[in-house]
Amino acid sequence: MKAELEQLKIEAFQLLNRAQDSSAVDALEIDLLGRRGKLSTLLARIPELPVEERSGIGTLASSIRKELQDAIVAKRGQFSAPTSQSLDFDPTWPGHSPSIGHLHPVTAFLERSADFFASLGYTIADGPEVETATNNFDRLNIPANHPARDLWDTYYLNPARAGLLLRTHTSPVQVRYMDSHKPPVYIISPGRVYRHEATDASHDTNFTQLEGLAIDRDLHLTDLLGTLEAFLKHTFGKVKVQVRPSFFPFVEPGVELHMSCLLCGGKGCSACKQTGWLEMLGAGMVHPTVLKNMHVDPAKFSGFAFGIGVERMTMLLHGIPDVRLLLSGDQRFLEQFHY
């Protein structure tokens, strides 16, 4: 009987160790120590034992019962929720300070740029990211079936009608704004744009542009270039730029502004496609047809417009080698840009 009691104890501890939750512990307690449990069943056989074997059995059984009861209580404690009393809880310890967010580098760039243009008298105009093909293309002098539409890889929302799309640039805000305003106007319009294109270090499928539009009497290309030069000086200090002729159907003449790649010092890298130069913005004098589409008389007024690639500017400003990092949402990357 003594050997059976010792064996019962060993098995009971093994089962208890394996218990996964408090209901398993409860079941084990009934099975071991209940009125019809294993211990009671064993002890019920005491009267059948020869007298000489009975001595000491009662004491051994009581000590095993006590050991098992203590172990069951301890095991149950593992599954109950800790309380401030059960933990080593010291309310006088300093707490964890909450992590405070900061502006995304693209947002910070836009805010600084908006301040600069506000100082020149520009106001901010907004437009929707879901745009009509008419505003995104037709009114900007890019009729349906014109090959110039191929310049933009467009996400159409309804391919059957091709009436709605995710805007490919912020230029449609120009015509929207002029539906309800008369010159002189000086506006900027920051916002998200979308293009269905293969990504690389300087191209993403959605990015930010900062559009600018000025319409007044006697505006010339030199006014555009002077404005852009002042903006770049404000943003970067001294930088090397090239103004190259370019084609955008809504301006005439059109230009592209390229900046010497600050990531590689002009030597060539993946961001500037080994050329040493990075295209930063498109610009030009508003095309007379577009002025007419804006209800403006081209004989009386002229205008200039520009569309800045905000992520590319942010890349060069902070030495970020890949545009895709900016939308990665990786906190280890973003935490480097506290403002």
Positions annotated as catalytic residues are 152, 169, 195, 209, 251, 305
C-alpha 280 chain-centroid distance: 23
- Minimum CB separation of residue 170 from ligand FA5 in Å reads 7
- Minimum CB separation of residue 272 from ligand FA5 in Å reads 12
271, 258 Cβ separation under 8 angstroms: no
Q: Which of 32, 280, 290, 316 binds ligand FA5 (CB under 6 A)?
A: 280
- Of 127 and 282, which CB lies nearer to ligand FA5 in the complex structure? 282
The count of residues interacting with ligand FA5 (CB under 6 A) is 24
- Burial (CB < 10 A; 0-12, 13-18, 19+), residue 101, is exposed
CA-to-CA distance for 339 and 298, rounded, in angstroms? Answer: 44
307 binds ligand FA5, rule: CB under 6 A: yes
- Of 2 and 244, which CB lies nearer to ligand FA5 in the complex structure? 244
Bin 266: left if φ > 0, else alpha if -120 < ψ < 50, else beta: left
Residue nearest to ligand FA5 (CB): 309
- Minimum CB separation of residue 151 from ligand FA5 in Å reads 7
Site string for ligand FA5, 318-337 (x = CB under 6 A): -----x--------------
Site string for ligand FA5, 240-259 (x = CB under 6 A): --------x--x--x-----
Q: What is the DSSP string of 218-282?
A: T--HHHHHHHHHHHHHHHHSS--EEEEEE--TTEEEEEEEEEE-TTTTTS--TTTTTSSEEEEEE
- Helical packing angle, 105-119 and 310-318, nearest 10°: 110
- Of 25 and 271, which CB lies nearer to ligand FA5 in the complex structure? 271
- For the chain, state the CA radius of gyration: 38
32, 38 Cβ separation under 8 angstroms: yes
Q: How open is the CA angle 149-152-156, to the nearest 5 degrees?
A: 85
Looking only at residues 182 through 241 of this chain, which bind ligand FA5 when binding is defined by CB under 6 A? Answer: 195, 197, 203-204, 207, 209
- Minimum CB separation of residue 255 from ligand FA5 in Å reads 8
312 binds ligand FA5, rule: CB under 6 A: yes
279 binds ligand FA5, rule: CB under 6 A: yes
Q: Where are the beta strands (DSSP E) in the chain?
A: 123-124, 130-132, 155-156, 164-166, 185-194, 206-216, 241-246, 251-260, 277-286, 302-309
- Of 25 and 142, which CB lies nearer to ligand FA5 in the complex structure? 142
239, 253 Cβ separation under 8 angstroms: no
- Minimum CB separation of residue 337 from ligand FA5 in Å reads 18
- Minimum CB separation of residue 283 from ligand FA5 in Å reads 5
Residues near ligand FA5 (CB under 6 A) are 169, 171, 195, 197, 203-204, 207, 209, 248, 251, 254, 279-284, 305-307, 309, 311-312, 323
